A and B are shown apart, each in its own frame.
Chain A
Amino acid sequence: MTSAAPPVVTPVQFQTSNTMDSPDGNMTLTLVASGASYSLFISSKPDEQKVKIYEKEELSSHKLEIPYNTWSPDNKYVFLKESTPTLNNYYVFSTTGNPVSDNAQQVNIQELFSQKLPDYKITDVTGWAGPTLIIVNVSANKDGQNISFWFDVSNQSFTQLGTYFN
């Protein structure tokens, strides 16, 4: 079948932003940078009142960003990307501002991963496969093989997948 020729359009790079609505449009995540200080806010429609859930002073070589798929599908969690000269950290927060786990306000996926799976390095965290499952793309240190894992926020475990989310 001959298909209609699509127009030549350069897709917008949907990577990071300083604000992102939840997929259902009911909540908004806002990252405000003031010098080296970053503050993270959650607001809900319709009142739009911002509630701060996190703040951090960053080194000048570091940068915090909101990834496109930051929101968990049930709006209970968000994750941020922190770029540094050596590696990227990915922090998971509860949108209520409550601790994600028993003893931590946020979970650092990079830190946990490097402790549990030192034979791999994270190349990207793409988004949510489910309410508590984050997709983590990695490459094997030995041979560079690309593999995807689920990180389960509820129990902080990693599960290797049989498919790679390119």
Chain B
Amino acid sequence: MGILIVIIFGSFLYPFITTKKVPCANTISCQNAPKFEAETNVTGIYNNQPVFVPNISLSKNENVNPVLGIQTSRGEKHIYVNLATQTLSAYEGDSLILQTPISSGRWGKTPKGDFTIWAKFRATRMAGGSGADYYDLPNVPYVMFFSNDEVPGSAGFSLHGTYWHNNFGHTMSHGCVNMKTTDAAKIFEWTDAPANGNQGTKITIYGDPPV
């Protein structure tokens, strides 16, 4: 009887005892809840180099070319990120809306699995690393944070635009999915954040990145 009680009690506690802490995508900025943040005429740091930081335009007339098929929905929206080919594919039902190279995690793993977008910000600041790996990037554009039951929103993983490198098709990030800013803008306009009791757009990340 005593052994049975221990087994039942242990089973109840197991998910909490063995829950692994998910590493944060941006070790400094994810210490606080993400928020919209845009600065003007600032400089970033990446690879120990100063980086020109584009100002964020919040004009409603901002020139963002819409993704195909915005007038008539063709089905459920779903984004697939193939880490092996470093490619993002966006679907509405069976219709491929956009396919483009991305850069997933090199200095930190991009998590795999099924996720949903839990928040979208037109811009935010991302910072992390230390020493030679330290980076501070204001005005990261078109940020779409995703999460699931194992990778919480507080871990800070997202799809977003990229102004500090242009090496898409190769792993480059600390865990996020980097996109060309023009592609991120299209996806940002197309995806849905949670609303009216509905979850945000689904994202499936799969495959093993090149070694």
Q: Map CB proximity to B onto A3-25 as digits: 1 under 8 Å, 0 otherwise.
A: 11011010110100000010111
Does B170 sit within 8 A of A, measured CB to CB?
A: yes
Q: How far apart are the CA atoms of A11 and B47 in the complex, in Å?
A: 30
Q: Map CB proximity to A onto B4-15 as digits: 1 under 8 Å, 0 otherwise.
A: 000000000000
B46 contacts A68, CB within 8 Å? no
Give min CB distance, B20 to chain A, whole Å: 13
Stretch of B25-33, B34-42, B157-165, B190-198 at the chain-chain interface: B157-165
Give min CB distance, A137 to chain B, whole Å: 10
Q: How far apart are the CA atoms of A14 and B99 in the complex, in Å?
A: 10
Stretch of A51-59, A111-119, A121-129 at the chain-chain interface: A121-129
Q: How far apart are the CA atoms of A24 and B161 in the complex, in Å?
A: 9
Give min CB distance, B121 to chain A, whole Å: 18
Contacts of A3 in B (CB 8 A): 112-114, 204, 206
Instruction: Decide: A132 near B49, CB < 8 A? Known: A68-B101, A68-B168, A165-B170.
Output: yes
Stretch of A34-42, A69-77, A84-92, A100-108 at the chain-chain interface: A69-77
Contacts of A24 in B (CB 8 A): 54, 163, 181-182
Interface contact tally, CB-CB below 8 A: 108
B165 contacts A73, CB within 8 Å? yes
A23 contacts B181, CB within 8 Å? yes
Instruction: Decide: A25 near B52, CB < 8 A? Known: A69-B167, A130-B46.
Output: no
Q: How far apart are the CA atoms of A85 and B83 in the complex, in Å?
A: 33
A126 contacts B169, CB within 8 Å? yes
Contacts of A12 in B (CB 8 A): 99
Chain A interface, number of residues (Cβ within 8 angstroms):
32
A130 contacts B211, CB within 8 Å? no
Interface-centre pick from A23, A69, A166 (highest chain B CB count, 10 A): A23
Q: Which residue of A lies closest to B94 (CB)?
A: A7
Instruction: Decide: A6 near B181, CB < 8 A? Known: A69-B167, A73-B164, A73-B165.
Output: no
Instruction: Decide: A127 near B180, CB < 8 A? Known: A3-B113, A3-B114, A73-B165.
Output: no
Query: Size class of B's contact patch?
Result: 35 or more
Give min CB distance, B201 to chain A, whole Å: 13
A73 contacts B47, CB within 8 Å? no
Does B78 sit within 8 A of A, measured CB to CB?
A: yes
A74 contacts B52, CB within 8 Å? yes
Instruction: Decide: A127 near B167, CB < 8 A? Known: A7-B94, A24-B181, A166-B210.
Output: yes
Contacts of A135 in B (CB 8 A): 167, 170
B99 contacts A73, CB within 8 Å? no
Does A155 sit within 8 A of B, measured CB to CB?
A: no
Q: Which of these, A6, A25, A128, contacts B166 with CB under 8 Å?
A: A128
Q: Which residue of A lies closest to B207 (CB)?
A: A6
Q: 4 other contacts beyond A14-B101, A73-B163, with CB at 8 A cut-off?
A: A23-B166, A127-B170, A129-B172, A166-B210
**Subset of 29 A-B contacts with CB under 8 Å:** A1-B149, A3-B204, A3-B206, A4-B204, A6-B82, A6-B204, A6-B206, A9-B80, A11-B82, A11-B85, A23-B162, A23-B182, A24-B54, A24-B181, A24-B182, A25-B181, A69-B168, A72-B166, A73-B162, A73-B163, A128-B165, A129-B172, A131-B51, A133-B47, A135-B170, A165-B167, A165-B170, A165-B171, A166-B211
